[in-house]
Amino acid sequence: MLKTRFWLLFGPLALWMTAFLILPYAQVLVQSFYTVDDFGLLQPGFSLDSYRRFATGPLYYGTLGKTFVLAGAVTLGCLLLSLPLAYYIAFKARRNKTLLYTLIILPLWVSYIVRAYAWKTILGEEGVLNTFLMYVGLTHEPIHLLLYSDVAVFICMVHIYTPFVLMPIYTAFEQIPKSLIEASKDLGAGRWTTFRQVVFPLSLPGIIAGGTFSFVLSLGDFLAPILLGGPNTLFISNIFQNMFGTSNDKPLGSAVGIVLLVVVLLILELSGRAEKRYSSLESA
Amino acid sequence: MKKLLLSALTVALTASVWSCGGEKKSESAASESTGQTSVADFKGKTLNILCWEGYADKKFTQAFEEKYGVTIKGTYFGSSDELIAKLTAGGGEVYDIVTPSPDMAQALVERDLVQPIDLKKITHYDSLAGKLRSMQDVVKDGQTYGVPFTWGPDYLVYNADVIKTEPTSWNELFKPEYKGKVALWDDISSLYLAGMLLGYDKPDKGGIYNMTEPQLAEVKKKLMQLKPQVRKYWVTAGELDNLMKNKEVTLAVGWPLTPATLKKEGMNVKGLIPKEGATGWIDRLMITKNTANKDLAEAWIDYITQAENMAKVGEVTNYSVANPNAKRFMSAELQEITQMNNTDYYFERLNFWQYVKNRKRYNEIWNEIKSGA
């Protein structure tokens, strides 16, 4: 009886997971050991060739490294924007709290592509920003580097992933009992000390969760580099996309995918542990 | 509820009777005009075409569909490799016709994925441009596997408002005043271009499709040298239009589509073949090996290669078409856009793509250039 109930509840989920998670990943894993002929047709077998090419080709590991740097920069940017903003909404804004929070979340309802294209209009040679800068006389020539560069990709990604970072941080701030802050003040700590000693440590789980979100999401982003990137912008997910598309080298693409997957799982594991460690502070 | 069901049924019935009548009418009209193929054989069948975007447009398929009572279904692919992926992943029996570019056509023949075409059934075959018919990459054992459809150059596109004197050489791309003002196609064909500038297309035109490792290293050097000039590697024709329109770039490698589109928007953008020449592509109609609709596929090829219908293809795609007589059905403007008024000039200067055996390596080099490694 218990068993039927278990399968009734768990069965659909198990089926779903098998069909859309386990099987595809298994296929990607198996495929990464195949080879292709010069026509792009898969040759089953067991070969570590794709992994060898990944490990020895600066194109592949170099791009992965570069992607890491950018994902890190995006995460930092998101955190620097989110922390003060979330702090303000959680502790300072009284009546406008809901409105402000909604304004932050609102962009999530707009399609990614639309937002990326909006940045094209803003950053372009004859875009809103350049026109404005030239109008006020800050520059005489349009700034070339704004669009079709790593800078543009960075700006767009920070814009897109900030809500993902802000939400957990805001939630963490909200959960801090006001009494703790009052106690800190009663004990003579200034605003900055209170933030450093009380608020920040207690919000660490939220910060870690948000940072992980933006880091992992920007690691896998391929649209922003395509739409806003310049001649030097090539991310690991673009290589991945290229291997499954124009290059038609599925084994290498799968190998890149597996490497990326392992890296992401590692990050998630580390961040999970960190979160746990700091949330135990809370209960202590 | 019952009433609703009943009325729905009546509507459906009437509609089907009415449409049957319609088909019958077009059927008799069809048999009058061709008189050779038994139209009834095709009725209700579906012709699946795996093609580049725009190659199965309603504007020229509809009349055929009505004539034979068939449906034409176009599935678009975005790159040559996507074509291979779709065709080999169980697509061999799904699609009846494919329209590969010459970087893949020969491979399809060699891989036995397509079958010979009975040229006797293509009544207008002899009126297609001789230069295109004479290309041997789709001929095997004396049999022809592909019928020319559309073609065009990868040539130099420039903003004539900025560049007052007409460029004559590809080296214009390297001029310091156009730093950050150049756009190249995000495709291995950029390697062909560099190979051409390095003279690897001499004496054998096919040299740039078959470059050796040292030659590829030189090509990479050349393209890295061009890199500071490049604002963006464009992915779609629409993207290049936007780059030109927003004045992000002044010079680009592009297709006639771009000047044609931008002219309509009032811009003075022109295209030309520089003195070093340019590469070009020719898309063919090919019939898949395992099709169950060979007769219908041949009927379609016969239909679409007729001058009047080819003119419509040119109108939709803005590409040059294989039947020179099509220009009689084109406006002077469209003739210019599609170069149909000047085909010989283009044929003389174009180096048509060929199958690149070392395609994987070409792709890798191209990625290395993009990554700046």
The verdict on a CB contact (< 8 Å) between A124 and B111 is: no
Q: CA of A157 to nearest chain B CA: how many angstroms apart?
A: 19
Q: In the prediction, which pLDDT does B194 show?
A: 96
Q: In the prediction, which pLDDT does A279 show?
A: 73
Per-residue model confidence as pLDDT tens digits over B137-165: 999 999 999 999 999 999 999 999 999 99
Q: In the prediction, which pLDDT does B90 show?
A: 65
Per-residue model confidence as pLDDT tens digits over A20-57: 999 999 999 999 999 988 777 788 889 999 999 999 98
Q: CA of B197 to nearest chain A CA: how many angstroms apart?
A: 21
Q: CA of B31 to nearest chain A CA: how many angstroms apart?
A: 43
For B103, which residue in chain A has the nearest alpha carbon? A39
What does each of the 373 residues of chain B score in pLDDT, given as a tens digit?
445 555 554 544 444 444 444 433 343 344 434 445 555 678 899 999 999 988 999 999 999 999 999 999 999 887 787 888 788 876 567 899 999 999 889 989 988 899 999 999 999 899 999 999 999 899 999 999 999 999 999 999 999 999 999 999 999 999 999 999 999 999 899 999 999 999 999 889 999 999 999 999 999 999 999 999 999 999 888 889 999 999 999 999 999 889 988 988 999 999 999 999 999 999 999 999 989 999 999 999 999 999 999 999 999 988 999 999 999 999 998 898 888 988 999 999 999 999 998 888 898 999 999 987 6
Per the CB < 8 A criterion, the answer to whether B26 and B66 are in contact is: yes
For A236, which residue in chain B has the nearest alpha carbon? B371
Residue B78 with chain A: CB contacts under 8 Å? 245
Q: Complex ipTM, two decimals? A: 0.81
Q: How confident is the model at residue A91 (pLDDT cuts 50, 70, 90)?
A: confident
The verdict on a CB contact (< 8 Å) between A247 and B373 is: no
**Partner residue opposite B368 with nearest CB, options A59, A144, A226:** A59
Residues A210-214 have a mean pLDDT of 94
pLDDT at position A1 over 90: no
pLDDT at position A165 over 50: yes
Q: In the prediction, which pLDDT does A38 show?
A: 72
Q: What are the distances in angstroms from CA A134 to CA A126, A130, B22, B224, B363?
A: 10, 6, 64, 32, 41
For A234, which residue in chain B has the nearest alpha carbon? B371
Q: In the prediction, which pLDDT does A284 show?
A: 42
Q: In the prediction, which pLDDT does B141 show?
A: 92
Residues A236-249 have a mean pLDDT of 84
Chosen CATH of B153-279+355-371 out of 3.40.50.720, 3.60.40.10, 3.90.470.20, 3.40.190.10: 3.40.190.10
Residue with tokens 């990479």: B220
The verdict on a CB contact (< 8 Å) between B85 and A249 is: no
**Partner residue opposite A40 with nearest CB, options B81, B370, B371:** B81
For B106, which residue in chain A has the nearest alpha carbon? A39
The verdict on a CB contact (< 8 Å) between A148 and B231 is: yes
Host H or E run for residue B132: helix B130-133
Residues A14-21 have a mean pLDDT of 92
Higher pLDDT residue, A67 or A94?
Answer: A67
> Which CATH architecture fits B46-151+282-343?
3-Layer(aba) Sandwich (3.40)
- pTM: predicted TM-score of the whole model, two decimal places: 0.82
Distance from C-alpha of A45 to C-alpha of A34, rounded to nearest angstrom? 5
Residues A163-171 have a mean pLDDT of 94
Chain A residues whose C-beta is within 8 A of a chain B C-beta are: 36, 38-41, 57-59, 62-63, 66, 124-127, 144, 147-148, 226, 230-232, 234, 239, 242, 245-249
Distance from C-alpha of B181 to C-alpha of B239, rounded to nearest angstrom? 15
Q: CA of A128 to nearest chain B CA: how many angstroms apart?
A: 12
Q: What are the distances in angstroms from CA A29 to CA A36, A53, A253, A256, A263?
A: 15, 16, 10, 10, 15
> Residue ranges of the alpha helices (H) in chain A?
2-17, 23-31, 49-56, 58-87, 97-105, 112-123, 128-135, 150-175, 178-186, 191-194, 200-219, 223-228, 236-244, 250-283
For chain B, the domains span 46-151+282-343, 153-279+355-371
Q: In the prediction, which pLDDT does B26 show?
A: 40
The verdict on a CB contact (< 8 Å) between A245 and B82 is: yes
On the question of a common fold for B46-151+282-343 and B153-279+355-371, the answer reads yes
Q: CA of A60 to nearest chain B CA: how many angstroms apart?
A: 9
**Partner residue opposite A247 with nearest CB, options B81, B357, B373:** B81
Q: In the prediction, which pLDDT does B371 show?
A: 87
